[in-house]
Structure 1
């Protein structure tokens, strides 16, 4: 519960968030809260700028990396 509260994660998740999580072979519980924040921030920034968030654009900015003990998105 604290995990979701820290990264401001709400259910139901957006289609973009689900599509990104489906692309990687990890469970959401393996993703660091700050990694999830980066994912959601990217999505909301795209929407605020009037663009549709796309996975290919997300990949241009972020990669999934292992930072013990969890995965996160890094530049």
Structure 2
């Protein structure tokens, strides 16, 4: 069975969202809200984007997003709602490793280590073939990460991108424009 973005609805409750936004310091100015019970991550309203809670828990993302994260999203023209949590973790780990080594993380350098991979509408990154490795530990698969998301104002990401609704072998077939 092939899983799609539209196969999952959010299971987060109002109380869980209040606790989550407090714990991760997500400002009320971003107007976080629980999606409707039948809404998938692809059904975000105009002016909102869907964000998975695991971005913060697993991938160590914070608000505001780092400039490096935004630059990666901008370069690959990725909609944050379609970024797989493991992909977000790879971006975060890369940035932390660069900063620990006093290296300015750039998209060009990131691309030397990783290439995009699409899986059922979600985007992640795979290590490039060869001897050059940035991070050799395998990131474990996440369970139930797709069911825990919420809406925030699209100001979270400084660029507006079309939401890709059909993806085949990395090629974009059509888009949902929520701008």
Consecutive unaligned residues in structure 1, runs of 5 or more: none
Q: CA deviation at 1:55?
A: 1.0
In the other structure, the counterpart of 2:84 is: 32
Q: Which runs of 4+ in 1 moved over 6 A?
A: none
Which of residues 17, 20, 23 is equivalent to 2:75? 23
2:61 is the alignment partner of 1:61: no
Q: Distance in 2 between matches of 1:46 and 1:6?
A: 19
Task: State the number of aligned residues.
Answer: 75
Can you list the C-alpha shifts for 1:14-71, whole angstroms capped at 9, x where unaligned? 1111111101122111010000000010001000011111111100100111022411
More strand per residue: 1 or 2? Answer: 2
Which secondary structure does the structure 2 equivalent of 1:50 belong to?
Answer: coil
Q: CA deviation at 1:13?
A: 1.0
Which of residues 7, 14, 35 is equivalent to 2:66? 14
Which of residues 102, 105, 116 is equivalent to 1:50? 102
C-alpha RMSD of the superposition: 1.3
Mark the structure with the bigger radius of gyration.
2
Consecutive unaligned residues in structure 2, runs of 5 or more: 1-51, 128-179
Which secondary structure does the structure 2 equivalent of 1:11 belong to?
Answer: coil
Q: Distance in 2 between matches of 1:29 and 1:6?
A: 16
Which secondary structure does the structure 1 equivalent of 2:64 belong to?
Answer: coil
Scaled by the length of structure 1, the TM-score of the pair is 0.89
